[in-house]
Each structure stands twice: as structure tokens, then as C-alpha cells.
Structure 1
């Protein structure tokens, strides 16, 4: 007994000594590590890394930027059974322990001693919160000790539900999904509260090893893990036997789902992304900002579709450039064909296809596509494909399929009908025919080389309603709407004519449309300008000169007004003049403007002469809904602006406590000031009567001039101007009513002729009409109200003077003080009204 007692005492002393040493070491670790541990209070202020999301004005998703998909959720929004699934998988004693599970740690130590390596960390959910929010993922004893200390602090300062909520929003669950809400979307395309029990258990199995137990990457292991969790839930009493039986028999239903964008607006999204990164740096991608833009989803989609359709129509008119690739398809299986197609990317709505066979007798080609399989391409879908030679020359029209394509050709096609395979059917001929009709059908196409841009601005406040910067953002990030400096051609003329109306000329002022030769070194010697028709029409009123786009009238008008004075007036309208020539070619639009510059200028005309500052960002919000920025209300500065505080005048949109205003590609996305005013004043830049008269003349461009295609809209409030530069290099149409101004440009990125017969009326105007059909659908007529001081007088169009009684004439608009003088009766007339009148001499310039 004494030997046993002595042995027991020695063992007790060793145990006590070991325990004391352990306590001393633990205390030393605590004293050493404690000062460097972050305060738990930071958890309450932490910003979960949430992507930047960009929305349209009507709350449609345009784009999402950021590495991590996350949608924070509160614990009240998570079903209890889902919480129980995670607890069963990760920490069944979560609501019982104090942050550290001694049994779990003991098990981990035993595994380490028996195997020589770390098998499991024995971590509780609280310890995982400590690691995920504060610590690295290194598997070291120091990190584990920090984790334990932090877990103890977290449990003292936060309640269990808050800890569990933090955990479920932070954990990584594979496929860039962080948090349970994002995972439910990625794997099942559902909110958390709509998941089935089997799906909940599948998600609960992911934290342990998101790649090893991923249902997409490793479905067999994922099913094993899911069923184990279901068994744990049954054993813990969370579900009954029947629920368990149904759930373990459920098939795997996970698939990869990304949040689909609802608006085709890549160029707009990039503009917003660039501005957000400029203002907030990399935090823009992680701090969960939501940006609401001014664009309307329906109008934006219409602008994108109209531009693409118009560019494709132009491209087809100029012929088929041939296959984009060629390879031997003889004896090649479908899988091999698909592998070969990897080198050919999809371009917007166009998909690459390889021609596998050509049948002239049947009038079709067989094609294979990578994702949709095999189908047919009928000859009538390729009858347009005359062989391209130059922009002004094509080959003869094809008469059979083999004139266009050959076996092995890789071409781009548009899908006409997706394949529809019947799930059941017998072998009778009727069913066989039905299946044949439902195969993939495609039409020959090609990606256009020509480019274009569409910008639509709310003329009353400057908000951009739609913007398309090119055919395909995936092919070219270059935003032609804001970055392409091009010659505006005749679309520049309305600004010249507005300058004339502001300087004493009237729509009845006559200029001579006759040949003229200029000797000017800046113009390269002798310059003999012509009209596009090559003809000259003699004395012409300013009205007719503009709506018929007579070049010689515009040149004489500019010479009369003065080049320097005209450039100064353009500066008053805030039209950039740094790329404008100081010679008479200015009258024909030989300067350079971006489509955005031109759209803004036409918005000034559209709204009656008020300054317009195009803007794109309407609102920026933090994840909790706090508004960081709100675009100020805009007001037209006329009589009402006198009541506004002087400091508000000329302010742009503002954001408090942000960097200085930055002008980006011709538009002001955001501006800054110490305190953001609630209103932005739009100052008057042009006399309203001059603008009203210009509206009338430009309505004639649509009714009687080069813009007649716009009559297809069946509206009486449309005005506009076409434009085509020398050699058809740039083509335009800029049109408006009193509420909205829209500009379209078409041309090549590297300036080159568009080809014979291509003008603004044939390239840009059809795109404008297609877009405006949607943009103006259901909108009431919007014409500029007639201001006071306007006279409507019948004139002789040949002289520009008042028409004599009984004489043919047209009614014309004048400012009252500039109206032609009244006719005076001749003394021999005796008041009959049929005698002579004094005829004031007409002025021909």
C-alpha cells in the first residue's frame, strides 16, 4: 500500500507540475498575444466584401463588379432548419459551449498525437468567426491560440445569434460564393427560404472543404457529405425519419447560376465602374455600393439593339467577306468539331459555326456549333452574300449555296430556331417530320467592321437615357460615344444658323447658292466647295438652305457672320472649339466633336436654349441603403432662377466631401462641393425666339428635307439634321423634340469611306428611327412653346420680303423687331389693293 501511495503522490505531483507549467505557458501566451488582438467591437462595424452593383433608373441590374459574390442576410431571414443543418455539420454544441469546445479540441489533439499531423482543428463556429474576420488561414499553433483567445472574447461581447449570423455571411462556399445567400443563388438560383431540405444540407456541407464537397466539381463526395449531415440532423432530433428518407433520396439538383444582367449596357456599365474606382479606389469592388444610373432599361436595350441592327444592315449591303477560318471536317466527330471551335469566340448575338456539308440541290448547308450542336443554314438566309470587293463594289448575287460557303468554312451565324427534341415519340413518319422541323436553324451573318454610337439625353435636365458606344464591348472597350472625335459634317450647321438668327438674320434672308472659289493656304490652295448633289440652285432663303443642307449657302453665311465671331458664339453655347478650324470649312462641319459633344449641343437646342450638363449617375448607396450621393434637381434658369441663391448658379451635380469635379470624356459624371446643393441651375445660353425659329426650320428637315425617314414615327414634334462628311467617312443624324435629344454616328474607327450611296440618311437615320420608336412610344407630343415676340408673316420666297396682295407666298416666322417692313400702297392704287407697292430691295449675299 505504501508503494502505491508513494507512486500516486509522485503522479499527482507530476500532474500538478504539468498543469502549472501549462497554465504558466498559457498565461505567457495570453500576456504576449493579448495586446496584438483586435477589439471584438470591430465585428459590429465590419464591412463584408460585397460586389459593386450597377442598376438602371428603373432598378434593373446592368452589371456586377467584384471578385466575391455576397448578399448579406440577417439571421431572421434564414429558416430554422437551415441553421440546424449548419450546426449539425459544423458545431452541434454551439449554443452550449462558451466559444471553445473542450471535447472538440481534445479530439483534435488525440488525432494529432496518433497520426502525427493535424486532421481537424476542433474549431467551433465562434472560432471560425474569429479566424475568418481577424486571422490568417495559416495552420500554426500561434494562430490557433489567437483563435481561441478571440473566440472567448467574442462570446463575452456578442450573443449567439449575432455570432451565427456573422458566420453565415462570411464563410466561403465555393464558386466565388461568400455567405449562404450568395451560395443559394449560385447553386440553386433561389433565395434561402425557398431551398428544400436536401439543398440546405448540401450547402451546410460546403464549409468543411468547398472544393472537395462541391456538388458541381465533385458530385459523388458532395452527396456523401450531404447524406451524412442529414443523418446527423435526424440523430439530433432536428428532422424525423420520414423527412430524412425523402431528403436522402432526393437527386442532386445543383447547377451553376450567375445573376443575369437585365440590361444590355456594357459601355454604360464601364463608365460607371471607372467613375466609382476613381472616387473610392479598390473599395468600390468590395464595399457593396449600389449605383443607380439615369438610363432607362427599355430605352437602353432599344439603343443597343438598334445600333447593332443598323451596323449589320450596312455590313450586308457591302457584301460577304468570306469565312473567318477553315479546317478539314472529313470524318471529324462532333466533339472534335466543338474543340476546333474553341478558337472562335461568340460576338454578341452571333455564334461561330463550321460548315460540315453543302447541298445545292436541297438549297442548304449543314453546320455544327459548339454549344447548340448541328443544324442547317438555308440558302435564302445567305442570298444577301454578294462577295465583298471594296466598300463601293461587290460581286454578283449568289445563285446557290456553294457560291457562298464550302465544307470546312467557319462562319458567324444568327440562330433562327433553337433545336427542340421531343422527349417521347414513335417511329411513324409524322413524328419524324416534326423532329426534323424542330432542329437548329441558323442564318448566315458576319461581325461588322463598321462602328457607331447612340446617345440619348433628357434635354430638360441632362440625364443620359441611353448610350451605346459600339457594336460589341467584348470586341472593343473603346467608347465611341464619348471618346471618338469625328467631323460632324452638316449636323454642325444648326449651330451656325442659330448664330445667324442671334445676329440679325432671319429664315427669309437670302444667300446665293452659286459656285465659289477660295484661295486659302489653310485649305490647301484653291477650294471649290459643292453641294452633295453637284448642282447649284441660286438665291436661297436660310430656311431652305438648312433643310436642304445647301453647302454654298452655309459657306456664304459664315463668311458674312465672321469666323471669329462664330467661334465665340460656339463657345457661348459651350460647344468645344479647340478642334475647330478657323476657316470657312468650319461651316461644313470640318471641325471635330465627339458624339456626346454633339448630343449635348442638340439638347441645348431641344430645350429652348438652356445649358445642359449630361450626367449618368443618379444615386450611390451603401449596403445598408445610406445614400452617399444623389444627383441634384435641375431647374431651367429664366425668370424663376432669379429667386435662387447666387451660389447655386452654374453648379454641376455634386457629391459632398469628395475630390474635385472631373470632366470625363465630354461629360460630368459627378462633381463636388463642401455642401451639395439640392438644385443645379441650367442657365440660358441662347435667345428663346431664335431657338424657336430654328426648331421650325429643323422640323422642315424631317418634313421636306434629308430627314424624311423620320416621318415613319408619325409624330409632329420631330426635328433634326443629317450629316455626311467628304467621301462619306462620317455619317450622322441628330434629332430631337422638346424633351429628348438623340444623336447617332456611323463610321470606321480608322477613318475610311463608307462607300458609294452611304449618307447620314441611309446609315445613321434608320438607327435613330429604330431607337426612337421605343423611346417615344406612348409619349405625348412635345413641342417648344411659342415665346412672345414672334410674328408669322407671308413672304415672297424669291425676295424674302412681304408678299404683295394676290402674290404667291409662304408664311415665315420672325422676331417682331426683325419682320419685313409693311407694304405701302402706291398713290395710283386708290386703295384698291391691286396697285403697286414699294418693294424693299432684297439682299443676296
Structure 2
């Protein structure tokens, strides 16, 4: 008995000694590690990495930037049953322990010994919060001890609901989804409160191993994990047996739901991203900013579609350049066509396809698409494909499919009819995973032959009175080329420059009735190898012509004579007054033909000055910025048009891009400032120019725009030498829109291509949507304008009984009343002057 007692005492002493050593070691670790632990208060200040989101002014998503998908929510927004699903999976005693669950650790150890795996885990939710927010993922004893100490500390300073909220917003749940709200959107395209019980359990199974239990990558294991969690929920009394039975029978419904942009506006999105990075640095991608732009989603989408459609139409007019690749017979027979097609990228709606068979009898070709499998390409979709030879020459019209394609050709197509939606796809189209979804379909897809346009273009639409960018498209495809032609391309504006010259002339006292001679002219210059013999685009001459007719008919020779009268230095000074850049403008008479260089945005801005009645314009894109808490930290200045006493109000400071400067450190709600826009041109001259540019639509080179059925639009076509650049710049009093079409490396578009045939159709496609439902809007008639009936051939007042037309003048520039005995020809600037213009 004494031996048993001695043995018991020995074990007791050994236990006490071990316990003391453990306490001493644990205390030593605590004393050693405690000073290096971060304060819990940091949890309340930590900014969850939330992506930058860009929206249109009508709240449609344009783009999202950032590696992590996250949408932080409060615990009140999460259903109780969802919270219980996570607790059942990760920490069923969450509301009972002090941060470390001794029973949970013991249960995890038993599970490991009995099953070889741990289902419920040993870490508490609080320990996971400590690890996710403060610690590395290193599997070391020191890190685990730190985790335990931090968990205890967190529990002492934060309430349980706050800890659970932090956990559910931070946790990684696979597929770049961080937090429960992002996961609900990625896997089910739902809000958290819209999930079914089975779906809630599925998400609760992800924290343990987001890859291993991912319902997209490993559906079988994910279902097993889900069912185990549902069983735990029943066992813990969180759900009833009936609810368990219903949920356990639910099928797998998870699919990949990427954050899809609602507006196709990549160039605009990139402009917003670059501006946000300029203001906030790399924090722009992680601090949860929301940027609202000035663009309207409907107008922006139409701008993108109209530009692409116009470039495709131009491209088809110049013929088919042939296949982009060729597969040999062995590859065609291999049955591995989808993998081979990964070498050819999709470009917007154009998809690469390989021709597998051509049947002239059936009047069709058979093709294979990477994502959709077999498809039919009927001959009617190929009839445009005359063979390209040069920009001015194509081959004969094809008569059968074999005239266009042969088996093995890789071409671009557009899907017209899809018999059924494609099967579930992998996260990225580029991975090429999965079998052809179209296999087994009786009726294959129908497609049309296409090709990626070589010509490029740009469209910019500005709200004329404020400068807000209503829509912008910088090229055919941002994915193909990130070069933003709307902002970066500097090209010759051609005749779209003439409105600025004519406005300068009107300001100098020349009138729409002034007569100029549209006749040949030759300039000899010692610096030129040959004499300069400018011509009209038509090659024709019309003799004495009023300035109004010269503008709507785009008479180059009149513009040259007009610039000579106004003066080159004076015209350049006036351009500076209008804030039209002159750095790349020539200082000779070729200036009158638009031989300088402007970007489409610079031209659009100048056009907006004309459209709004002569006031300054500063284009801007960002309407507002809010932080992760929804607080507005920037609001675009309110634009005020000012005629007099403008210096009494201060304008908001601007940067070279026209955006108002703000400090990245701003966090408080920002009150909108005021941007004062001063008058740059005489409103009477601008009003007269509106009338003259309206005639471009009614009578001149822009007549095609009459199809819009509006009488409030005005504009000017533009075509440079050899048709290297083609333009249309048009407006009403509220909206100014400019379109450019050309090659990135300047080259002729073709001798039958002009601004009216390339740029104007794009402008019309856009404006029919942008102006839809809007009443006609005209510039108000200013004081000091008179209407006088004149002789259109002489520019003088019409005599009684003489046929005449009404013209508008500034009062001081109106033609003088005719004397009774005045029978000679003349104009509004004096007989001698007008005679010289007619002759020379």
C-alpha cells in the first residue's frame, strides 16, 4: 500500500512539475511575444482590400479594378441561419469560449485519430480573425502561440458580433472572392439574403480549403462537405430535420459569375483608372473607392457599337483580306480543334473559327468555333467578301462559298444564332478547358463571315454647356490596342477646322453674304519643289460664291482666300482665344485646309465652344468619388457660364487633363466647387455660324444626316489629302460630338472615302440614340442680329421685285441700303474689295 502511495505521490509531483514548467514556459512565451503583438484597435482601422469600381452616371457598372473581389457588409445584413452555418463548420461554441476552445481542440484531436482527418478544425473563428488580419500563414509553433494570444486579446476588447463580422468580410472563399457577400455573387449571382439553406452550407464549407471544397473545381468533395455541415447544423439544433432533408436533396447549383461590366466602355474605364491612380496611388485598387463618371450608359454603349459598326462597314467595302491562318488536313482530322484555336484570340464579338468543309451545293461552309463547336456559315454572309487588292481595288463579287474560303482556313466570324446557351465555362475563356459545349446539338450555330478592321476611329461626345464627357470610344477594341485615339491621336482635321476660321472671319466683320471667287489658285514658294495648286475635293470650281455656300459646300479655294483676308497671325491669335491648341498649326495658307494637327478631343472641345454659344469648355470625366464608407470625397465643380464680372467668382483649380485637382488625403465629404466658364467668342458671330453649319446638313456635304429628321443639328465634314483622315464634327445647342476615322499609321483610306461616307454614318448612329426623346434645341437668338433679303449672286440687298434670299447679319456688318442709281455689282465689304475676290 505504501508502495502505491509513493507511486501516486511521484506521479503527482511529476504532474505538478510538468504543469509548473508549462506555466513557466507559457509565461515566458507570453512575456517574450506580448510586446510584439499588434494592438487590437488596429482591427477597427484596417481597410479591407476592396476593389475600385467605376460606374456610369446612371449607376451601371463599367469596370472593376483590383485583385480581390470584396463587398463588405454588416452582420445585420447576414441572415442568422448563414451565421449558424459558418459556426457549425468552423466554431460551434463561438459564443461560449474566450477565444480558444479547449473542447474544440480536443474534438479535432479525436477526429484526427479516429478518421485520419479533421472536419471541424481546431482554430476558433477568433483565432482565424487574428491570423487573417495580423499574422502570416507560416505553420510554426511561434505563429500558433501568437494566434492564441491575439485571439484572447481580441475577445477581451471586441464583442462577439463584431468579431464574426470581421471574419465574414475578410475570409477567402475561392475564385478571388473575399468575404461572404463577394462569394454569394461569384458562386450564385445572389445577395447574401437570397441564398437557400443548401447554398449557405456550401459557402460555409469553403474556408477550410477553398480549392479542395470548391463547388466549381471539385463538385463531389464540395457536396460531401456541404452535407456534413448540414448534418452538424441539425445536430446543433440550428435547423429542423425537415429542413435538413430538403437541403440535403438540393442539387449543385453553383456556377461561376464574374463581375460583368454592364457597359462596354474600356477606354473610358482606363481613363478613370489612370486618374484614380494619379490621385491616390496604388491604394486606388484596394481602398474601396467608387467612381461615378459623367457618361450615360445608353449613350456610351451606342458610341462603342456605332464606332465598331462603322469601321466594319468601311472594312467590308474594301474587300476580304483572306484567312488569318491555315490548318493542315492532319490537324483538321485530329478532333482537337478547340485547343488549336486557342492560338487565335477573340476580339470583341468576333470569334476565330476554322473552316472544316465547304459545300457549293448547299451554299454554305461548315466551321468549328472554340466555345461553340460546329457551326454553319451561309453564303449570304460571305457575299460582301470580294478579294482585297488595294484600298481602291477589289476582285469580282464571289458567286459561291468556295470563291471565299477553303477547308482549313481560320477566319473571324460573328455568331448570329445560338441553338442553346453554351455549357458552364471555366473562369477565363483563355484557359480553353472543357469539351465543346455544342457537341450533341442537332442544329448547330449560324455565323457570319467577318474580319477585324484595319482602319481605326474615335468618337467623343461632350455636353456642350458643361464639358462633361457623355460618351467616348477610343478605337475598335481596347483588348486589341489600348491606344486611346480619342485622347492621344493627333491628326489633320481637314475641313472640320473651317468653322474656327469662319468664326474668326465673322468676328472681323466678314459676313455670310460676302462674295469670294471659287477659282484656281497657284502659289510659288522657294521652299517647295513644285508650285502649290490647291483644289476642291470635287476638282470643280464654282466661281463667285457667298461665304455661306462656300462653307456648306466645303470650298477649299474660298477658305484659302478667306484666311488671306483675315490674316494668318490674326487667325492663330483667335484660335488661342478659343483655346484651340496652335502648337502644331502651320503658319501658312495651308492652315485654312486643316493641315495642322489636333486630337479628336481637342477638336471636340473647340466644337463644344461653338455649340454652347461661345463659352469656354473644360472636358471632364469624373462626376464624383466616394470612399469605402460611402462618403463623397470629391464632387465635380458646378459649371457656371459667365459673360461679365467673371472675376468675382473663383474657378476650381484644374490639371492639364481638365480634371479638378484634389488631394489624395481628403477623407471628409467634399462640397462641390464652382467652375466659371468665360465667354470666348461674340455670341452673334457664333449664332450666325450655327446657321451656316446647319446648312451643311440641309444643303451641303452633311446631307445624309437629314435622315435623323431633326432641324436643330449642325456640323462639318472633313477629309484630308489622299483621304488619310476623315471626320465629322456635329452638334446641337446641348451636345457636341466628333468622329474620326483613319489608319493608325497614316495611309489613304481609298479614293471614294470621305468624311461623309466614313465618319458621318458613325456620328448618325450615335446621335440618333443620344438625341432620342430630346426636343430640338437651338441657340437663342442674341440681340444685335438682323435679317436682310439679299441677292445671292452679289451679296447686296435685293432690289424691289428682284429674286432674293434672307441672310442674317450683325447690325454693324449689314449691307448698306442701295442708292437709287447704284446698278453696279458689289458686296458687303465694298465694290473694289469684292471685285478683287471675284478675280483673284
Q: Report the TM-score, using the length of structure 1 for normalisation.
A: 0.93
Q: Deviations over 1:559-616 (max 9, x none)?
A: 1111111111101100011111111111100000000000000000000000000000
Kindly indicate whether the alpha-carbon contact (under 8 Å) linking 1:289 and 1:621 is maintained by their aligned counterparts in 2. Answer: yes
Shift of 1:820: 0.9
5+ residue gaps, structure 1, are 424-434, 653-660, 827-834
Shift of 1:115: 13
Q: 2:746 — aligned with what?
A: 751
Shift of 1:509: 1.6
Q: 1:430 — aligned with what?
A: none
Q: 2:41 and 2:385 mapped to 1: Cα distance?
A: 69
Q: 1:648 — aligned with what?
A: 650
Q: 1:105 and 1:524 mapped to 2: Cα distance?
A: 92
Q: Which moved more, 1:672-681 or 1:730-739?
A: 672-681
Change (3 A) 1:107 1:384: same
Shift of 1:485: 0.3
Map residues 257-272 of structure 1 onto 2, 5 A cutoff: 257-272=257-272
Q: 1:247 and 1:112 mapped to 2: Cα distance?
A: 27
Q: 1:287 and 1:94 mapped to 2: Cα distance?
A: 30
Q: Which moved more, 1:75-84 or 1:592-601?
A: 75-84
SS at match of 2:177: coil
Shift of 1:359: 0.9
Question: Residue 555 of structure 2 is aligned with which of 550, 558, 562?
Answer: 550
Question: Residue 570 of structure 1 is aligned with which of 570, 575, 597?
Answer: 575
SS at match of 2:375: strand
SS at match of 2:459: strand
1:599 aligns with 2:594: no
Q: 2:183 — aligned with what?
A: 183
Q: Deviations over 1:804-841 (max 9, x none)?
A: 11122221111101111112334xxxxxxxx9699762
Change (3 A) 1:836 1:483: closer
Question: Residue 682 of structure 1 is aligned with which of 677, 681, 695?
Answer: 677
Q: 1:658 — aligned with what?
A: none
SS at match of 2:446: strand
Kindly indicate whether the alpha-carbon contact (under 8 Å) linking 1:799 and 1:842 is maintained by their aligned counterparts in 2. Answer: no
Shift of 1:21: 2.0
Q: 1:698 and 1:117 mapped to 2: Cα distance?
A: 80
Q: 2:436 — aligned with what?
A: none
Kindly indicate whether the alpha-carbon contact (under 8 Å) linking 2:639 and 2:674 is maintained by their aligned counterparts in 1. Answer: yes
Map residues 319-334 of structure 1 onto 2, 5 A cutoff: 319-329=319-329, 332=332
Shift of 1:524: 4.9
Q: 2:502 — aligned with what?
A: 497
Q: 1:769 — aligned with what?
A: 764
Q: 2:236 — aligned with what?
A: 236
Kindly indicate whether the alpha-carbon contact (under 8 Å) linking 2:371 and 2:422 is maintained by their aligned counterparts in 1. Answer: no
Shift of 1:557: 1.1
Q: 1:351 and 1:422 mapped to 2: Cα distance?
A: 15
SS at match of 2:605: helix
Q: 1:20 and 1:560 mapped to 2: Cα distance?
A: 105
Question: Residue 701 of structure 2 is aligned with which of 697, 701, 706?
Answer: 706
Q: 2:15 — aligned with what?
A: 15
Question: Residue 455 of structure 2 is aligned with which of 422, 436, 450?
Answer: 450
Q: Which moved more, 1:509-518 or 1:712-721?
A: 509-518
Q: 2:831 — aligned with what?
A: 841
SS at match of 2:374: strand
Q: 1:193 and 1:51 mapped to 2: Cα distance?
A: 22
Q: 2:387 — aligned with what?
A: 387
Shift of 1:421: 9.6
Kindly indicate whether the alpha-carbon contact (under 8 Å) linking 1:417 and 1:438 is maintained by their aligned counterparts in 2. Answer: no
Kindly indicate whether the alpha-carbon contact (under 8 Å) linking 1:303 and 1:454 is maintained by their aligned counterparts in 2. Answer: yes
Shift of 1:678: 2.2
Kindly indicate whether the alpha-carbon contact (under 8 Å) linking 2:90 and 2:120 is maintained by their aligned counterparts in 1. Answer: no
Q: 1:218 — aligned with what?
A: 218
Q: 1:703 and 1:687 mapped to 2: Cα distance?
A: 25
Q: Which moved more, 1:7-16 or 1:575-584?
A: 7-16
Question: Residue 668 of structure 1 is aligned with which of 649, 658, 673?
Answer: 658
Map residues 317-466 of structure 1 onto 2, 5 A cutoff: 317-329=317-329, 332=332, 335-420=335-420, 438-466=443-471
Map residues 228-307 of structure 1 onto 2, 5 A cutoff: 228-307=228-307
SS at match of 1:282: helix
1:693 aligns with 2:698: no
Shift of 1:197: 1.3
Kindly indicate whether the alpha-carbon contact (under 8 Å) linking 2:91 and 2:120 is maintained by their aligned counterparts in 1. Answer: no
Kindly indicate whether the alpha-carbon contact (under 8 Å) linking 1:353 and 1:413 is maintained by their aligned counterparts in 2. Answer: yes
Kindly indicate whether the alpha-carbon contact (under 8 Å) linking 2:712 and 2:777 is maintained by their aligned counterparts in 1. Answer: yes
Q: 2:356 and 2:672 mapped to 1: Cα distance?
A: 65
1:799 aligns with 2:794: yes
1:580 aligns with 2:585: yes
SS at match of 1:467: strand
Q: 2:61 — aligned with what?
A: 61
Q: 1:628 — aligned with what?
A: 633
Q: 1:422 and 1:620 mapped to 2: Cα distance?
A: 38
Q: 2:535 — aligned with what?
A: 530
Q: 2:21 and 2:117 mapped to 1: Cα distance?
A: 24
Q: 1:731 — aligned with what?
A: 726
SS at match of 1:487: coil
Q: Report the TM-score, using the length of structure 2 for normalisation.
A: 0.93
SS at match of 1:281: helix
Q: 1:563 and 1:536 mapped to 2: Cα distance?
A: 24
Change (3 A) 1:181 1:378: same
Kindly indicate whether the alpha-carbon contact (under 8 Å) linking 2:825 and 2:831 is maintained by their aligned counterparts in 1. Answer: no
Kindly indicate whether the alpha-carbon contact (under 8 Å) linking 2:728 and 2:756 is maintained by their aligned counterparts in 1. Answer: yes
SS at match of 1:527: coil
Q: 2:686 and 2:69 mapped to 1: Cα distance?
A: 51
Q: 2:209 — aligned with what?
A: 209
SS at match of 1:794: strand
Change (3 A) 1:689 1:45: same
Q: 1:459 and 1:374 mapped to 2: Cα distance?
A: 49
Question: Residue 471 of structure 1 is aligned with which of 469, 476, 495?
Answer: 476
Kindly indicate whether the alpha-carbon contact (under 8 Å) linking 1:329 and 1:337 is maintained by their aligned counterparts in 2. Answer: no
Q: Which moved more, 1:514-523 or 1:107-116?
A: 107-116
Q: Deviations over 1:93-152 (max 9, x none)?
A: 101101111223456678999999999972100010011011111111111111111111
Q: Deviations over 1:691-720 (max 9, x none)?
A: 000001001111111000111111110100
Q: 2:365 and 2:120 mapped to 1: Cα distance?
A: 61
Q: Which moved more, 1:384-393 or 1:108-117?
A: 108-117
SS at match of 1:238: coil
Kindly indicate whether the alpha-carbon contact (under 8 Å) linking 2:522 and 2:532 is maintained by their aligned counterparts in 1. Answer: yes
